[in-house]
Amino acid sequence: MQIKLTTGHIFDLNEGETLQDALKRNGVYLVASCGGKGICGKCKIKVIEGKYRTESIAKLTPEEIEQGFVLACKTFVVSEDITIDIPKTSKLVVGDIIEISRTKDLFELFTSIEKNIQPLINWLDIDIPAPTLDNNLSDLERLKRIIEEKGINSMEFSLDFVRSLPEILRKLEWKIRLAYINTDAGRKAMFIKSREEDKSYGIAVDIGTTTIVLYLVDLSNGKVIDTGSTYNSQIRFGDDVITRIIQATEGGMLDEMRENVVEDINNLLQPLLEKYNILSDEIHSAVIAGNTTMSHLFWGINPGFIREEPYVPVLNSFPVWSAGKINLSINKNAPVYTLPCVASYVGGDIVSGVIASKINLSKKISLFMDIGTNGEIVLGNEEWLVTAACSAGPCFEGSGIRHGMRATEGAIESVKIIPGTSEFVLGVIGNKKPIGICGSGMIDALTEMFMNGAIDQKGKIIKNKFTERIKEGFEGPEFILYKDDKREIVLTEVDIENLIRAKAAIFAGISLLLRETGFTFDDIEKIYIAGGFGNYLNIEKAIFIGMLPDIPREKFRFLGNTSIAGAYMCLLSENVRREAEYIAGKMTNIELSVSRGFMDEYISALFLPHTNIELYPSVKNILARKNT
């Protein structure tokens, strides 16, 4: 049996295989937010010709069903060939390199904290007397003796290191540069290189649930040589960490998911190495920052207990292991440092963010927020730090929203209602016809719709206004944002509910941290916003819907990807790595799901902007002006 695509591609299909599995086996990845359970509706495809059997129609509209749309993850072909069309929105763009701007200020940020570069690797230049008949100590004892003469004792030697020893010592004629690392217990020899060649590079990697960002760094001067970014191809196993954990454990995909992310990193690195004429052996260290689940998956460690009460990771502070253990294609004996995690839902990316935002160095109280696939916040100063994961869910990244999508070409990123009319001005990424709506577009839409009376404070669609844009869908009322002959982009009442829940979770998290520490919004000196989504966030509108607190706008700062920034700093400095371990150890994690106060705060925040309008004086003013 065969699957024929309208693009002309033809793939084989096995009896009893879902369309999604058959496509995946052939290298075509569909979005699978729910991990193939037939729930999220993201993997919908259109059957042009052929017989099939399908087991779920979740999220499909009656019109779509009419037109032949099915969920690929729950559809099986019956006896003959099938011809299908895959909508652009269902396709996962894996391996596409997303261009990101180079952080020019990064080195300055580093030098504002640290004066010296101290990479993970320590170097020891040694001249070993060549063996003679009168002095025929073995290679290893010969090396050890010289090291001990230099006052360095108790060095550990791995089998790999010893295996490489005889050739490299002779190739370099016994004049070597030894790379070693400091461990809890002592020192560990990593590899030997020539002294002639001064090249030494490192990579800093931010492993996000959605995207992976890599910086290639010259360790001799700390400069970022180039950067790369791609989707995390684990996305095929689900959008959010919970689905990934289920796939890794119950789905038995742990090894495959580890391979996926390592391959993503290797694929990002390869073209950079070619471009700059760098050998993989010259990459002498790596630093990884990711949330707790991503960090576990990267090392192939079972993340299963993260999602089971009492929510414990296998480890928060990671030993330094070598790159060869997970087939990262840099020097196989290069040390890999993992930013320490704080708890199951507050990971190394957040510790990294604290370092990059420097809130741990300030006397004043700051709030750090990372709004990405999840939403984590940290409150504190140089003396104390509290943190919480808000479980905002990935809706701002497009998941769980009927026409939600990531901020890529075709996404509605801004919405403006021309006052007094029912005309909408949409900003679309790439100035194309819109195909969906991304996080910033959703917040804009919510703001505009609320301000112009299209929805009420609870997010319910007001039926007697914008009547021509409202229709009844199979899940309830829907608000049409865009429509042409082919396509209709809506926000359903269910979508709006999800968005309000997400913004409420973030706001309630902030409120709770303040409440627990005895401070108020006014005590916050600075709010640092990080994360891919942060870059597109319109502060004014995020305040308007009650996601951010209503405090003076000049207190807000966008920091971009702080996870990669902190990883970069750890790559360059032993002190920063020590600080990261210290921060992770001292930070107090508040588990919101079991916190008594959180539910009150959350319920109060399920309103636009908030049940207590006094918390939002600027919004109150605008609404008052509107209503007069």
List residues near a copy of itself by CB under 8 A: 131-133, 135-142, 154-159, 162-163, 165-167, 170, 183-188, 299-302, 304-305, 309-317, 319, 321, 325-326, 341, 343-344, 591, 594
Question: From the CB of 340, what's the least distance to a copy of itself, in Å?
Answer: 10
- What are the start-end ranges of the H helices in 462-573? 493-517, 539-544, 562-572
H/E segment holding residue 245: helix 241-249
Question: From the CB of 516, what's the least distance to a copy of itself, in Å?
Answer: 15
Q: What is the rounded CA–CA span in Å between residue 283 and residue 273? A: 9
- Give 322 or 360: the residue with its C-beta nearer to a copy of itself: 322
- Give 131 or 473: the residue with its C-beta nearer to a copy of itself: 131
Query: Among residues 96, 98, 49, which one has the least CA distance to residue 77?
Result: 49
Identify the three-state secondary structure at position 612: coil
- Give 125 or 308: the residue with its C-beta nearer to a copy of itself: 308
- Give 283 or 343: the residue with its C-beta nearer to a copy of itself: 343
Say which residues have a Cβ less than 8 Å from residue 333's Cβ, sequence separation at least 6.
Answer: 158, 160, 161, 164, 179, 190, 191, 322, 323, 324
Question: From the CB of 386, what's the least distance to a copy of itself, in Å?
Answer: 15
For 245-284, b/e burial (b = at least 16 CB within 10 A) is bbbbbebebbeebbbbbbebbbbbbeebbeeeebebebbb
- Give 5 or 389: the residue with its C-beta nearer to a copy of itself: 389
Question: From the CB of 605, what's the least distance to a copy of itself, in Å?
Answer: 23
- Give 61 or 322: the residue with its C-beta nearer to a copy of itself: 322
Tokens of 390: 């808000």
- Give 14 or 153: the residue with its C-beta nearer to a copy of itself: 153
Is the CA virtual torsion 158, 159, 161, 162 positive or negative?
A: positive
Question: From the CB of 167, what's the least distance to a copy of itself, in Å?
Answer: 7
Question: From the CB of 183, what's the least distance to a copy of itself, in Å?
Answer: 6
- Give 297 or 365: the residue with its C-beta nearer to a copy of itself: 297
Farthest CA pair distance, the chain: 101
How many CA atoms are closer than 13 Å to the CA of 378, on its beta-carbon side? Answer: 33
**Strand ranges across the sheet with 488-492:** 470-473, 476-483, 488-492
Tokens of 315: 């480890």
Residue type, 159: L
Question: From the CB of 591, what's the least distance to a copy of itself, in Å?
Answer: 7
Question: From the CB of 184, what's the least distance to a copy of itself, in Å?
Answer: 5
